[in-house]
Chains A and B, each alone.
Chain A
């Protein structure tokens, strides 16, 4: 019997298929922005050809923090306690500085209960990707405002937020994160480019991804709704990312693009939409974010990048092998060492 030959299975550069990067089925609401983010994460790690076993996932508590179950099923994951993902990530990254770390958090998990640990993670420039799935609302407890909800925004039940929002991106730049951007869960192209660049970056990546909550915060009056985002999103630039292992196959008009190089040699191209924006200028980045806020715009794109700053683990003077892999011959000094110490105390 004649058989139709199967079409060749699509593989990435390390011979894995996209299915090798998927997780279990999402239990989040249909249409939740978080699911789109999970899909972009799957694509980004697949396209970058990262070994799934080399990736470690971390999260706190909330809808966002459930999402690591829905991507990279072959990667270890630690779903910790509310607002404390940074501590788990810091311990993990120090224990094994050879793996890649991605943390998923929400706006409540980061900007309210987790603020204490968040600021210290940013300050340390821990090598990890920290994603805030930001919907301005507590989903899992059924719709209370979070600290990133915009002033004046309105809940489904009519409650109006009277407090100013915390801008996690401005904060992250201020504190020392070295790759800071904002995107929108519905902006496939921009989010994919940012995620791939994030994978290539060595240091803290903070990505605040506006991710509308279809159940509790996607109505008229919400500033984190799909509609509001479509009307008010102000992309800073068009982003293209070319990994170090790819031939540069896109051409840009020199006059309108800026190219930035990440530590592994990957290139990120920022195509100007408006003024001459330089993502390596920290003060300009903070100013630009403040201006967008004044204009009630949701600015998206890569705000700040410093590829030269050593990461937390780089600056610790660690041995090359992961601390987690050291044998007893290295971790337990010999008998003569104890005897010499005892002599000191005689």
Chain B
């Protein structure tokens, strides 16, 4: 299971099955700017990484987060 899908589902409190790589703030009402930070902080804690502000403003979809996360590993 993708850590990003799992984290986004937990933070937005929605079923993981409802998420796809295209899920984004544009098509998920609960995904606002505060949720973005909660998603990021949960990933930072679970993956022992940290995101810059520049990276966080690019958290525009599941696939975008996966792409940013891939640069951390």
- Note whether A and B form a binding pair: no
| Partner-A contacts on B (CB < 8 A) | none
